[in-house]
Chains A and B, each alone.
Chain A
Amino acid sequence: MKIAQKSIKFLTIVAIALFSMSGYAVDSDKNQHSQKDGGQVNTKKEVEEYILHHIKDSHDFSLFSYTNDAGERKHLGFPLPVILWSSEGLVTFMSSEFHHNDDGHVIVEKDGLKFAKIHSKIYELDSDAATVALDDTDHPTNAHKVLDFSITKSAFGLILIGLLMLLWFSKLARQYKTRKVPTGFGRILEPLVLYVRDEIARPNIGEKHYRRFTGYLLTVFFFIWILNLAGLTPLGFNVTGQLAVTACLAIFTLVIYTLSGTKGYWMHMIWMPGVPVLIRPVLAIIELAGALVIKPFSLLVRLFANISAGHIVVMSLIAIMFTLQESLGVVGATGLSLLLSFFITLIEVLVAFLQAYIFTMLSALFIGMAVDDHEHH
């Protein structure tokens, strides 16, 4: 009975997802100017642009696109809401209004304001402009950026994975009410929770304080790991490769260890004992810069760079299929591409875990340094 209920639930979700996708798939792009060739990505430059476009956030959730027999460009996916804080206040509309255009040719008019999307960024056109004028570096000259609070693909992925985590772990939590040892999927999750607690939080923060921070560390670990893995699926999420998201996580860690720092921690940072007085201010500057800038910066850049690089490498190796077709032939290029991308994907699976581990471990280490009692001096 329970299994039946579950499969019904699952089928409902799949049905909703497919319905919305098919509904959107009908939406063809008649205003496509830049992709007259049917959206083929063949040359090195196109591949590069495609990869860079993928690495960026996007305003709709698109799985893939194709050109049908009638020469129409079809996109399989669904639109996401666009929420903008423009010069006139809040403006919202669905991203489908841009019709997948990404070079500023489609102008969306809302509340008397004109918006255009160029390279995944939404610009508000100056009031007298009718079309976007671009300079040589593809930056608009008659439009300005707006604060974009849209539920972009990354924000959507974040919500999706967040809900998934809530579902999984609250279910595990409920299991403990009736039994001592979880069953089913909980049996996989429990050792992971224990791993983060016993191998990351406890040794780095210390037996005395680790309990307070374990919740944050567990959330961050699973959040980064699951999103890293989701980024390797054809869904094409690149959430942990977004600077905004990694910056957000790094700043959380910064805030936590700055607020929970003991007196000893601050004394060691500002007025280091045991060194000549003249050196102390110099050390203070270095220590403060280290704690407040370098540590979070290293956290955010490490995660961002590793995940972005992983995506770029995987996609570049897949692109060998087209770029080396002339020199290796169809079979050779495809085989090489498959072989290399297969192995790099395996490595990426490892990197997905490793980066989650490193981020969590370093966060725990920084917190541990801040709450340490400094009694050993």
Chain B
Amino acid sequence: METLLNDFSPGLFVVSTILLLALIALMIKFAWKPILNSLEERESGINNALEAADNARKEMQNLQSDNEQLVKEAREERDAMLKEARDIKEKMISEAKEEAKGVATTLIENAQASIKQEKQAALAEIKKSVADLSIGIAESVIKRELASKEDQLQLVEGILKDVTLN
């Protein structure tokens, strides 16, 4: 202990205190402060960069899901459009069919009506010609005043033949 105390140099203690205080102050000012500040800056820079990368990845994912959504919507829209088109087509076809059917019916009806009319006209003409014929026959009958029954019958038959030939 005595040797220890004997070895202790108060002068060196004072000198080293002054030198060390100066060293600590200088080191803090010129070395540690700028170094630690730069290191912290760099660390926060790295953290920020990592965070930014993370955010970008999340954004990418969002964009991707958005894209998928868009594609899905587009597909649905396309399907809907196709369906609509098909519907319209079918509707048009059926409408056309209906119309055609209607037109045909009217045509048939018209035809039938005109046939009927023609038939009636023909019938009426026949009736008229029958009446004219009857009147003609009766006229000739009356004109000739035939004595025999046989002649009368022959006449009628001859006239009828003419008629049939007509």
A residues within 8 Å of B by Cβ? Answer: 56-57, 85, 121, 147-152, 154-155, 158-159, 162, 165-166, 169-170, 172-174, 176-177, 180, 190, 193-194, 197, 211, 214-216, 218-219, 223, 242-245, 247-249, 251-252
**Residues on B with beta carbons closer than 8 Å to the beta carbon of A218:** 27, 32
A166 to chain B: closest residue by CB: B26
Assess whether B158 is interfacial by the CB under 8 Å rule: no
The answer, among A147, A174, A211, A249, for a CB contact under 8 Å with B20, is A249
Q: How far is the CA of A248 from the CA of B18 in the complex (A)?
A: 10
The reply to whether B38 and A197 contact each other, CB–CB distance below 8 Å, is no
A251 to chain B: closest residue by CB: B17
B residues within 8 Å of A by Cβ? Answer: 4, 7-17, 19-20, 22-24, 26-28, 30-36, 38-39, 42, 45
Indicate the member of B12, B23, B24, B39 with the most A CB atoms within 10 Å: B12
B10 to chain A: closest residue by CB: A147
Specify the main secondary structure of chain A where it touches its partner.
Answer: helix
**Residues on B with beta carbons closer than 8 Å to the beta carbon of A243:** 4, 7-9
A197 to chain B: closest residue by CB: B36
The answer, among A56, A172, A197, A248, for a CB contact under 8 Å with B16, is A248
The answer, among B16, B33, B35, for a CB contact under 8 Å with A155, is B16
The reply to whether B23 and A223 contact each other, CB–CB distance below 8 Å, is yes
Indicate the member of A85, A121, A194, A218 with the most B CB atoms within 10 Å: A218
The reply to whether B20 and A158 contact each other, CB–CB distance below 8 Å, is yes
Other A-B pairs beyond A149-B11, A155-B19, A170-B30, 17, CB < 8 Å: A148-B11, A158-B19, A162-B23, A162-B26, A169-B35, A173-B34, A193-B36, A193-B39, A197-B36, A215-B33, A218-B27, A218-B32, A244-B10, A244-B11, A244-B12, A245-B16, A248-B17
Q: How far is the CA of A166 from the CA of B30 in the complex (A)?
A: 8
Indicate the member of A150, A245, A249 with the most B CB atoms within 10 Å: A245
